[in-house]
């Protein structure tokens, strides 16, 4: 096993982690996929909130108040 010491001057006191490139690319791929999913969820939530404010609701509740009562708020 090779040990390399990196001076704190280079890392500016931060910790440094070294991983194989394949592992880095795998983690990066998962991160990008998660970010894309989060972005879509944010868009969908924004649209749902706009629909609710405009009175366009779907589902078992006839109003926002009915929904709040249904979930216990």
Model-wide pTM > 0.85: no
Q: What's the confidence (pLDDT) of residue 1?
A: 66
Q: What's the confidence (pLDDT) of residue 57?
A: 67
Q: What's the confidence (pLDDT) of residue 25?
A: 92
Which candidate, 60, 57, 54, places its Cα nearest to that of 71? 60
Q: What's the confidence (pLDDT) of residue 22?
A: 92
**Non-local CB neighbours of 6 within 8 Å, separated by 6+ positions:** 16
pLDDT band per the 50, 70, 90 thresholds, residue 59: low
Give me the chain's average pLDDT, please. Answer: 79
d(CA 48, CA 54): 10
Which candidate, 22, 18, 25, 13, places its Cα nearest to that of 1? 18
């Amino acid at each position: 096993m090779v040990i390399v010491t990196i001076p704190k001057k280079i890392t500016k006191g931060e910790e440094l982690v070294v991983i194989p490139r394949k592992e880095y690319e795998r983690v990066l791929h998962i991160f990008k996929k998660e970010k894309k999913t989060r972005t879509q969820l944010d868009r969908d939530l924004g649209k749902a909130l706009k629909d609710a404010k405009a009175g366009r609701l779907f589902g078992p509740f006839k109003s926002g108040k009915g929904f709040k009562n249904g979930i216990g708020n």
